[in-house]
Amino acid sequence: MKILTVDIGTGTQDIFLYDSNLDLENGFKLVLPSPTMMIHRRLKQALPSRTPILLHGHQMGGGPSAWAIEAYARAGIPVYMTPDAAKTINDELDKVEALGITIVGEDEAESLKSKVESLELKDFDFPLIAKTFADYGVSLKDLAAVAVAVFDHGNAPPGVSDRQFRFDYLDERIRLKNSLAAFAFLSSDIPPIMTRLQAVADSARDLPCPLVVMDTAPAAVLGATFDPAAAKPKQKIVCNVGNFHTLAFRLSEKGIEGVFEHHTGEIDLSKLEMLIRKLADASLKHEDVFNDMGHGALMYTDEAFEFGKDDFDVVVTGPRRSMFNRQSSIENRKSLRPYFAAPFGDMMIAGCFGLLAAAAEILPDLAESVHGSLREAGGGGVTPWDA
């Protein structure tokens, strides 16, 4: 049985092909440029030629792609976008048009394709991934499922903060089902407000198998818990230091006890450690993060736990985890002791292992095989089926 997992971040898209006939450490994996970085580079290369551009397809991750599109428009070069593609920049299309971008319908877009440079926007490009594997003699025609993770702020109503809207959503999901797998959905069950997750599903309608989608941060945290050392403590904090967002979950046998999410560019190690300490002693408040230009915080217990009982204080994962290496000092005894998780030998695809575990809960037919592989490989994990 094969399951394709794809964790799509800002810098990279991390791909792991689960094969029940192989040990997890022998599974085929790819770490490639993220779709948003691919669009950014294409537009940056095209900018000197001043060629008019049409962007069509689906809503996708912003950041680098959105910055490049806006730079194109600021240079006075005609930029055309279909409504779905334009939501990459803003769900409110009048704000996209205010940037000097022309919104065109699908029919007009078809007529423009022969006159301008045309780029399709989408986070998940299954044909391209399948071709890459096929070039190495690996077929994806017999997949039992596909699982994809992206970060989704959600479509906040006009006048409502995107940051607050996302945290209201996180709170709703945790209260509904206190498990990291609460942030995973079968493609037919995606909440309407989660427009980027829905865009992934829309771009993958021709898949010959079920599709599971999930938020990236819970996927990475869940995957990190399959590191054997990280799995041992019954109560722990797992921090994912991503390229754009840093998120930490406080976990126990009961489930999620607290969470905060900040923008990585707005924090340094001292601020991050302060937030982690507050998450541990249950004093963390939403305003501590939100008023500092972060997303927010949620606490579901007023009970504190102390550091020092285990060999480490915080489990760390994510592409910017070196923040702890660069800024901490052995002489600084006040610093938290990080443990850098490497589930099944590879930190970069921690999110893929989280996707794999969540897919086994969403699709029970996969459970026996996936659970067996995860356990045989020695990963303890905060498994959805145990939470």
Domain end: 65, 96, 121, which one?
121
For the segment 321-339, what is each residue's pLDDT rounded down to a tens digit? 999 875 554 445 468 999 9
pLDDT at 325: 77
Res. 43 pLDDT band, cuts 50 70 90: very high
Within 8 A by CB and 6+ apart from 127, the residues are none
Whichever domain contains 285, its CATH number is 3.30.420.40
Domain that holds residue 45: 35-121
Same structural domain, 213 and 261: no
pLDDT at 378: 56
Cα 359 from Cα 355, distance rounded (Å): 6
| Percentage with pLDDT > 90 across the chain | 91
Determine the average pLDDT of the residues in 7-32. Answer: 96
In a domain, 225, yes or no: no
Same structural domain, 23 and 172: yes
On whether the CB atoms of residues 162 and 26 are closer than 8 A, the answer is no
Position 124 pLDDT exceeds 80:
yes
Residue type for 44, please? Answer: K
235-256 in b/e burial notation, b at 16+ Cβ within 10 A?
A: ebbbbbbbbbbbbbbbbbeebb
pLDDT at 377: 59
Nearest C-alpha neighbor of 59 from the set 172, 194, 187, 182: 194
Nearest C-alpha neighbor of 77 from the set 43, 124, 111: 43
For the segment 258-291, what is each residue's pLDDT rounded down to a tens digit? 999 999 999 999 999 999 999 999 999 999 999 9
Determine the average pLDDT of the residues in 87-93. Answer: 94
Whichever domain contains 99, its CATH number is 3.40.50.1100
In a domain, 104, yes or no: yes
Within 8 A by CB and 6+ apart from 99, the residues are 70, 73, 74, 89
For the segment 219-266, what is each residue's pLDDT rounded down to a tens digit? 999 999 999 999 999 999 999 999 999 999 999 999 999 999 999 999
Can you give the C-alpha Rg of the chain in angstroms? 21
Same structural domain, 247 and 149: no
Same structural domain, 158 and 212: yes
On whether the CB atoms of residues 199 and 60 are closer than 8 A, the answer is yes
Res. 384 pLDDT band, cuts 50 70 90: very low
Cα 266 from Cα 60, distance rounded (Å): 23
Same structural domain, 310 and 186: no
**SS3 for 60-88, per residue?**
CCCCHHHHHHHHHHHCCCCEEECHHHHCC
Number of domains in the chain: 3
Give the range among 29-43, 58-72, 77-91, 326-340 with minimum mean pLDDT.
Answer: 326-340
Res. 379 pLDDT band, cuts 50 70 90: low
Mean pLDDT of the chain: 93
